[in-house]
Structure 1
Amino acid sequence: MPDEPELTFGRRVRILRERSGKTRAVLGGLVGRSEEWVKAIETGKLLTPRLPLLLSLADVLGVDDLAELTGDQSIPVASVTKATHPATAAIAEAMNRPVVARDVDPDSADVHSRVGHAWQLWHGSTTERTAVAAVLPDLLRDARAVVRLVDGADRRRAYADLAQVYHLCQLFLAHQPAAELVWLAADRGMQAAQDADDPLAIATAAWYYAYVYRGAGQFAAAEEVVGDVIPLLDPEASTDHLARWGQLQLGVALASAKAGRGGVAWKYWDRSSGAADALGRGYLHPRTMFGRFTVDAFAVTIDVELFRAGEAVVRAERLDLGDMPSHTRRAAFLMDSARAHHQRREHVAVVHLLGRALRESVETTRHQPFARQAILELMGRRGTVRDDARELALSVGLLG
């Protein structure tokens, strides 16, 4: 946006909307308003909206600072929509620290075991970031060191373990104001997986890399990074190959839904669903959580991305959270359900579901931009919804 103070708020919205290639109808839908509302904003018939809606507009339009929308003082969007975990600096330092010779060399079998334990902490805790932060810096140091100490098949397994550690770093850093570290974790995870020369490790790395691309709005790149890896897998070779193959189909589906390509999204979701059926209802990958529940939960996500809120609500009501042992995955599903009700402006349901998500995982909810923006918005309403939203705001750190 050019530095032109005389530009009105409406004119700024229009410039940013056109630059992003969105119609008024699309922009309105993405922020829960009508095409007519967007037109009224752009033509100056409505005043500048309050902070929660401003944040939604900034997110949809790819604005990093509200000043770009308002022309007023600088307010970084991330300072409101993203929360920083106290251990982020320690994780960043561990990622950037050079690997040096040590008096006691790490043991590859021990590192492998600790990687598995770290994933158990991630899925088994209601404060998963705090739980893994207690072990991640030392685990990353040792995993980076051990690849230099072993050869042959042991080295390939060590690189696969290192890739998993970087995936945990990426998950820890997600939805924090540390975008460069998220990209670094994704890139190093993919490099380690490629060094492992293991199609399964590369497939998992592609799944996590696609998350970063989707979060950055690079939907074509998200489809490409998983699409390029799918041919490396043989779904008939083993259960592991079938599970990774199904998960990558899901990756394409999610990226396509984000891009508004519903037909493509459901085509790839159907393929993923077929893989989940073939694996059996009792199958669940211990780290990625791929299985029947995850595929069905992401169908809710796809409906929400395609603005099929009614279908998403109906689909969500059919799922049993007892089928998913991961606290963070349950919380994510509940927030997607809340997003569907938010599109329908069912505010009581939104507050209820965000409260349930918070009980499942405090930190997944606290760091999710939608949850923070929705809570801010609901605090501006009257009655019990406002009171309940204020309690949620205290829990996620939006109020001191």
Structure 2
Amino acid sequence: MPEQPSPEPTPETFAQRARRARDRAGLTRPVAGGLVGRSAEWVKGVENGTIGMPRLPMLIRLATMYECDIADLTGDDRIAAATYTKAAHAELPAIKRALTTYWLVPADREPESAEVLAARVRQAWTLWHAAGDHRSRIAALLPDLLADTQHSVRALGGPDRRRALVVQAQAYHLAQLFLSFQPVPDLIMLTGDRSMTAAQDADSPRAIAGAAWYMNHVHRDANEAAEARVELAEQASALLRQDNDDDLARWGLLQLAVALSYAKTGRAGDAWRYWDRANDAARRLGDGYAHPWLIFGQGIVDGYAITMYNDLMQPGKALDVALALDLDQVPSATRRSYHLVETARAHGMQDEGVAAVALLQKAFRESPETLRYNVYTRMVLPELAKTGPRMVRADARTLAQELGVAV
């Protein structure tokens, strides 16, 4: 008797794909619903098929929240979330080339000292935190900086090499920040890994702490398990002495990293326990303190409380924090812009479109490129331009056009 052909596998439904994406992201239904402005029951309805596949704007929001392609939800390989939600900087190819090219310079070329390299990195940090188009400014510096730190690390020895490795780790932090929220997740992971490797090779607890802060962002944005992010931050913070301002600032920053990780997965008690530790560190450092390039201080501890309340689905409390936030304590235009965007997100969660648009405009004036590469902004502006309060639709449309977002 001829062998019967195997039956064709039943195609996955949208509901099944949505459930799998949420499980992979480690989000509960209440948290997932709140992040897209819907209830836990709505998420349940989507996942059991009683609510059909939503329209494109909501698909984009779901894909952004779950850090997956729209194709992973719809089953249509022609659609990718990055096409709609992530912009690519004009200098991205040059930075990619710098990261994937090994500069085999002649052995007789004199390497730059760690001190000279450190001065160049300080200049780049100043440009990153200043008002205006910060990504474009450091894009002009990064290729040479990456090449020169690579050469010095190869050519120097002993303590000089270790100091150069510390600088190299910071150069990779800057590259990682430039790449963030662009459609190059592989390069973002590459720079994070290289910065941690350089910090470990330098045998520098401070450099390891800085690398752990930025690696934490990589893993959190990829929706990887909170436990792995927490373990990395706690291991790095245990290496710090806390008996000077620099160590205490980095220790506090890592407590903040853990707090943000727990908030994103809805673990409020753990989140606020670690935020309290970060807040204590900031208070010990004093109101006027801000780390020269990590910018840790009271301003960002308070500012990130807005993000935590948003992630914990408590926009009213986020706005209470925002009302009291002193942005003058945040000596970084990029960070000020980010906290304004997060305040706009809180207003958006409460359907307060007029306030949300006004804050996004203010954030744009602070740092245009922070807004241009912010996923929430790119996702929400088309909706505000079409269905927001009539008095701000034109403003939302104008801002979207400034950012290169299709409406």
> What one-letter code is carried by the residue in structure 1 that aligns with 2:71?
A
Q: Cα distance, 1:269 vs. partner?
A: 0.9
Alignment of 1:103-252 (within 5 A): 104-108=109-113, 109-218=115-224, 219-236=226-243, 238-252=244-258
Q: Select 1:57's aligned residue among 62, 68, 75.
A: 62
The whole-number CA distance in structure 1 between the counterparts of 2:164 and 2:370 is 29
Alignment of 1:1-400 (within 5 A): 9-10=14-15, 12-14=17-19, 16-17=21-22, 22-42=27-47, 46=51, 48-64=53-69, 66-72=70-76, 74-102=78-106, 104-108=109-113, 109-218=115-224, 219-236=226-243, 238-381=244-387, 383-399=390-406
The whole-number CA distance in structure 1 between the counterparts of 2:240 and 2:377 is 36
The whole-number CA distance in structure 2 between the counterparts of 1:47 and 1:392 is 32
The whole-number CA distance in structure 2 between the counterparts of 1:337 and 1:51 is 25
Q: Cα distance, 1:4 vs. partner?
A: 7.4
- 1:253/1:267 contact within 8 Å kept: yes
- 1:156/1:196 contact within 8 Å kept: yes
The whole-number CA distance in structure 1 between the counterparts of 2:45 and 2:254 is 42
> What one-letter code is carried by the residue in structure 2 that aligns with 1:100?
L
The whole-number CA distance in structure 2 between the counterparts of 1:155 and 1:35 is 54
Q: Cα distance, 1:98 vs. partner?
A: 1.0
Structure 2 gap segments, 5+ residues each: 1-7
The whole-number CA distance in structure 2 between the counterparts of 1:280 and 1:372 is 36
The whole-number CA distance in structure 1 between the counterparts of 2:192 and 2:201 is 14
Q: Cα distance, 1:320 vs. partner?
A: 2.0
> What one-letter code is carried by the residue in structure 2 that aligns with 1:391?
T
| Residue identity (%) | 47
Q: Cα distance, 1:47 vs. partner?
A: 5.0
User: Judging changes above 3 Å, is the alpha-carbon distance between structure 1 residues 149 and 5 closer, same or farther for their aligned structure 2 residues?
Assistant: same
Residue range with higher mean Cα deviation, 375-384 or 324-333:
375-384
The whole-number CA distance in structure 1 between the counterparts of 2:238 and 2:25 is 33
The whole-number CA distance in structure 2 between the counterparts of 1:133 and 1:183 is 18
The whole-number CA distance in structure 2 between the counterparts of 1:25 and 1:273 is 28
> What one-letter code is carried by the residue in structure 2 that aligns with 1:357?
A
Q: Per-residue CA shift, 1:208-236, capped at 9, x if unaligned? A: 11110101111222111111111111112
- 2:299/2:330 contact within 8 Å kept: yes
The whole-number CA distance in structure 1 between the counterparts of 2:253 and 2:11 is 49
Q: Per-residue CA shift, 1:125-174, capped at 9, x if unaligned? A: 42111000011100110011111232222211111000000000000000
The whole-number CA distance in structure 1 between the counterparts of 2:384 and 2:60 is 13
Structure 1 gap segments, 5+ residues each: none
- 2:64/2:375 contact within 8 Å kept: no
- 1:55/1:77 contact within 8 Å kept: yes
Q: Cα distance, 1:364 vs. partner?
A: 1.0
> What one-letter code is carried by the residue in structure 2 that aligns with 1:192?
A
Secondary structure of the 1:164 match is: helix
Q: Cα distance, 1:13 vs. partner?
A: 3.2
Residue range with higher mean Cα deviation, 177-186 or 48-57:
48-57
Q: Per-residue CA shift, 1:8-33, capped at 9, x if unaligned? A: 54454345445656554333222111
